[in-house]
Amino acid sequence: MVGRYKSAEDIQAIEAEAARLYLKARTSDAADQWNEAYAWVAQDPAHGFAFAKAEASWELTERLRELPAGREDEPTPPVVPHDEADRDIAAEDIPAPLFGRRGLFVGLAAAAASIGVAATVALRLLGTVDHYRTALGETRAVRLADGSLVHLNTNSSIEVALRDDIRSIKLLKGEARFDVAHDTKRPFIVDADGTLVRAVGTMFNVRLRPDVTELTVIEGIVAVRNGDSAVRRIESGRSAAVRSGSIAVTHLEPAKIKQRIAWQEGMVEFEGDTLAQAVEEFNRYRTTPMVIGDPAIASLRVGGAFRLDRSQDFVEALESGFGVRAVPGSDNSIILVSADGD
């Protein structure tokens, strides 16, 4: 063990503190929590080693959870590019297990046990992994060093690692649009809760919903893999809902794509959405919620374009044209009920 700590008790205490700080920062994903953890790491090399061990253990656990039950040594089938354009997004460019469940377990366990796992912490401390986030109700655009542009929606967070051989982005939570700078020598890969999206000179949007990862391709073509799924090519004008190794692709009309990315212009658009869906969307940007207090109005169909920071305009539209009454709470929350109940 490096540093001044020699006893088993000291080592155990350091590792416990490392685990506490890592889990605290990972759970909240707040800047001050990460800064607290990195400040502690910088105090002593032993702290960095223990923190890296905690991080590696977490990543190992997450990867093992993704392993399919009852699948021992099935190889991932190769995907052959259909044409010359596909060579930029061939299957071999998408990170995936190239061996079975037993082999993956051994590989991950060996990696977690190796002192090399400290590289992740070292990269962060040296500034080669960047962390960008937005608060509730905030959106922002980030220009990456390779020229790519990332738009972050409300309450979102990403980690970015740009290296000579790969551009790796991890969407930790929320939603982001990626305008990817063309560079065939460095694959641009987004990891969104285990869904891997590979693009070259492409524009796409990824949203982490509670039960599914939603991908919308605005321009170009991307390749997608999730778990043991085969690589799927998703072209512009199409969307994919990804969950548990399944990739469901649908066609989107231009108006629907515009609706999905309206947040980048500070707007939210509805076209035949239910009131329940509209309220859920607005609540992504509010510190206090709108609440449907009458189930009878939850299925009302609504439409229109509204500013993200002007949910009151939406409420007034409901009151004037949809037979809905809004009851304000003292904490700025809003309860929506039927006006017929007056």
Q: Which residues pair with 268 in a beta bridge?
A: 306
Dihedral (Cα; 14, 63, 194, 98), 10-degree rounding: 130
Sign of CA pseudo-dihedral 135, 136, 141, 144: positive
Q: What is the DSSP string of 250-292?
A: EE--HHHHHHHTGGGGTEEEEEEEEHHHHHHHHHTT-SS-EEE
Pair of tokens at residue 27: 């759970």
Q: Is 307 exposed, middle or buried (0-12, 13-18, 19+ CB in 10 A)?
A: middle
In this structure, what DSSP letter does residue 87 have? G
- Alpha-helical (H) ranges within the chain are 8-28, 31-41, 45-65, 101-113, 118-125, 254-260, 275-283, 311-321
Amino acid identity, residue 178?
F
As a whole number of angstroms, the distance between CA 200 and CA 223 comes to 10
pLDDT along the chain (342 residues), means of 10: 57 83 81 84 81 71 48 41 46 42 41 42 56 94 96 95 89 96 91 90 94 96 88 94 94 94 95 95 95 94 93 94 92 92 58
C-alpha dist (Å) from residue 149 to 72, 237, 341: 40, 20, 49
Q: Give the model's pLDDT for residue 281.
A: 95
pTM of the model: 0.68
Question: Could you give all domains of the chain from N- to C-terminal order, each with its CATH number?
Answer: 8-65 (no CATH), 129-253 (2.60.120.1440), 266-341 (3.55.50.30)
Amino acid identity, residue 83?
D
As a whole number of angstroms, the distance between CA 278 and CA 56 comes to 40
Q: Which residues pair with 175 in a beta bridge?
A: 207
Beta-strand pair 175-179/149-152: antiparallel
Q: Which of 227, 37, 176 shows the shortest CA–CA distance to 120?
A: 37
Q: Give the model's pLDDT for residue 164.
A: 85
As a whole number of angstroms, the distance between CA 217 and CA 156 comes to 19
Q: Are 12 and 18 in contact (CB under 8 A)?
A: no
Q: Give the model's pLDDT for residue 28.
A: 78
As a whole number of angstroms, the distance between CA 310 and CA 314 comes to 7
Q: Give the model's pLDDT for residue 84.
A: 41
Pair of tokens at residue 155: 């309450």
As a whole number of angstroms, the distance between CA 236 and CA 203 comes to 9
Pair of tokens at residue 118: 């400290």
